[in-house]
Amino acid sequence: MPSGLVWLPVNVELVVFGAVSIAAGFALAYLSRHLYPRLELADDALDSVRLLTTLIVTLLALAGLGLVVIGLTW
């Protein structure tokens, strides 16, 4: 008879790397919001920097989410 505990195969390394990637993405988003007002750039350049930062944050968050999902279902 089973003891009541369910064994789920989890790859801890992938879950940890995914969580770190998500945290790094949100930390970059938080830091960029405080850094942008101090930059003395033209409006077009500032828009480009914001777009690039948004793309990087999105990539980090989605890659982290993917690693967490793969780690939990491995």
Of all residues in the chain, what percent carry a pLDDT higher than 70? Answer: 95
Q: How crowded is residue 27: how many other Cβ atoms within 10 Å of its Cβ?
A: 12
Give the model's pLDDT for residue 3: 66
Q: What is the pTM of this model?
A: 0.81
- For residue range 2-15, list pLDDT tens digits in order: 566 777 778 899 99
Closest CA to 15 of 74, 72, 73: 72
Neighbours of 25 (CB within 10 A): 20
What is the DSSP code (8-state) at residue 4?
Answer: S
- Going by the DSSP 8-state scheme, the letter that residue 31 receives in this structure is H
* Domain boundary assignment for the chain: 12-73
Token couple for 40: 């003395």
